[in-house]
Structure 1
């Protein structure tokens, strides 16, 4: 029952659209941790055991495969519809996770420049309280830090 709630929360939340990888990645890691699916993201390539391996290895593989399918479904459900078709053919959750990280994880020079300009030109909205203003500023600083940009006093 709890797993269904987690998946429902993830599906109705913010989906990966190509521009929000950092936030999406953090949310997905939290959901994976809550559902104990993190192992599917961290484990090997998911190849089936050979006939020479004992039955316990096969049983362990069956459990891993079930967890992998569940985590893979959750990841795919958290993508925008137009992205699902590009990634649903990947064989394992780990392969899917790594490909998404490769495709969307890097910060382009254009995106970094956009974050810097947004930060430099930001002014307090008169409708915001000081707490809201500081939260927005803190979020922008966090995004810049995550992108590898160090702010200096100038």
Structure 2
């Protein structure tokens, strides 16, 4: 495991109250390490002894990815939860069990994230970087729970949430028809 993954795993250990943030971190890790497919794809059948190389490699890849995903998941939760789930064979079984224990209905999480996005206002004098990163986290929560918001609308929500001291910036963007993606917006702000 590289140090970035270890930091992410340690930063948000699942304890039950933080399921949504934990799931978001875990999804990031699984995507970065190209392991997320084990949550949606069934394990290929164990190859016969005379199976061709491609079939054996597909099976081996899935098994190795599942083992790694299981280690990441178990390492990112409290000891009690890890002990309870260590006997499960697949990462999908662990995630399904955790969803049953802690997961609200996805519409509820999506609703809360979108409500936060609509009502969030940056306070004058606070860090614009922290504000934008917070908004981006809620965009991700909405997306993970079935409510993706395209990047152009994300930029609009962020601009709309800024305090009055940013009116000259917003006016310049509007008058000059400047289009930002999230990265360029963050850098410009």
- TM-score, L = length of structure 2: 0.53
User: Per the alignment, do residues 16 and 53 of structure 1 end up closer, same or farther by CA in structure 2, a change over 3 Å counting?
Assistant: farther
Contact preservation (8 Å) 1:37, 1:67: yes
- Residue number among 22, 25, 40 corresponding to 2:23 in the alignment: 25
Count of residue pairs the alignment pairs up: 126
- Residue number among 57, 60, 71 corresponding to 1:59 in the alignment: 57
Q: Distance in 1 between matches of 2:46 and 2:52?
A: 9
Question: Which portions of structure 1, spanning 4 or more consecutive aligned residues, are displaced by more than 3 angstroms?
Answer: 128-132
Alignment RMSD (CA, Å): 3.5
Contact preservation (8 Å) 2:9, 2:76: yes
Contact preservation (8 Å) 1:37, 1:68: yes
Query: Superposition pairs for residues 2-151 of structure 1, below 5 Å?
Result: 3-44=1-42, 46=43, 48-49=45-46, 51=48, 54-56=51-53, 57-106=55-104, 131=126, 135=131
Deviation at 1:51, TM superposition (A): 2.6
Segments of 5+ residues of structure 1 without an aligned counterpart are 120-127, 148-154
Deviation at 1:16, TM superposition (A): 0.4
Larger radius of gyration: 2
Segments of 5+ residues of structure 2 without an aligned counterpart are 117-122, 146-189
Tell me: higher relative CO, structure 1 or 2? Use CA pairs within 8 A at least 6 residues apart: 1
The superposition leaves residues 64-118 of structure 1 with CA deviations (integer Å, 9 ceiling, x where unpaired) of 10111011100110001111011111111111122212221116xxxx9xx9xxx
Q: Distance in 2 between matches of 1:106 and 1:68?
A: 25
- TM-score, L = length of structure 1: 0.64
